[in-house]
Amino acid sequence: MSVYSFSEGSSVAKALGQYVKSKYDTAMAKHGRFTLALSGGSLPKVLAEGLSQQKDNIDFSKWEIFFADERIVPLEDENSNYALCKEVLFDVLPGFVPEQIHTIDTKFLKQNPLDSQAVADEYEKQLVHVFANASTVKVPVFDLMLLGCGPDGHTCSLFPDHELLDEDVAWVAPITDSPKPPKERITLTIPVVTHALSVAFVTTGAAKQDILPVVIEDTTSKLPSALISRAHPDRISWFLDDDASAKLDKS
């Protein structure tokens, strides 16, 4: 596991941009495209800042983008992770192909307004479609997952002690009791996240300083971010600022 901490947010963004560029280069050399899953929260803005420094050397038309999680709201809603990414990334950096930005679309709720499982199933179909020709069939293998970590140790829409942490069949699942509003969300499941070739957690601010020692240093922690971090530590990087990392063991 690699843990990086920087004194300023702009340095976190710069390092993240360089890291994503290197993962993009590796993926392009290997299979000519870059498959990526994005979270919401504070991540898209940090990512956008970092990528703006790399944009001349990246062909965004080769990006195949999924969402690590999404809120059950219309895509244009201000709470939508897609809407945030569109505003700060897709509408700003050049070359993204709309058909390669795979949204979790609540239009599939129209047939049955209560059935968020239908939205999850539809998203799983999109994953099957995009990853079908790849060598992996049982679980999609993303080149990169970019995740946040909440002050309670959640990541994606996988929350502490939630039954979804035991999901080992579905790739995508609904959650209707999210402690972080809104309650209704769709999330990638742990098997999909832990099969990614690389996973970066991007977390800044003092509100995270109490949970990070538990997530990163406590080898018995059952918190979602800890479970993912420990599954394949060699694939995991943490991008923090010094406020967030203040209570980590620096020795």
Task: Write out the residues near ligand 6PG by the rule CB under 6 A.
Answer: 39-43, 69, 71, 81, 148-150, 155-156, 180
- Select 37 or 127, whichever has its Cβ closest to ligand 6PG: 37
Least distance to ligand 6PG from the beta carbon of 9, Å? Answer: 12
DSSP 3-state of 86: helix
CA atoms within 13 A on the CB side of 9: 11
- Select 37 or 248, whichever has its Cβ closest to ligand 6PG: 37
For residues 71 and 184, give the distance between their C-alpha atoms in angstroms, rounded to a whole number.
Answer: 6
Least distance to ligand 6PG from the beta carbon of 150, Å? Answer: 4
- Select 43 or 127, whichever has its Cβ closest to ligand 6PG: 43
- Select 23 or 71, whichever has its Cβ closest to ligand 6PG: 71
Amino acid residing at 159? F
For residues 33 and 71, give the distance between their C-alpha atoms in angstroms, rounded to a whole number.
Answer: 27
Least distance to ligand 6PG from the beta carbon of 46, Å? Answer: 9
CA angle 9, 195, 231 (to 5 degrees): 75
- List, in order, residues 6 or more apart from 222 with CB less than 8 Å away: 160, 161, 165
Least distance to ligand 6PG from the beta carbon of 187, Å? Answer: 8
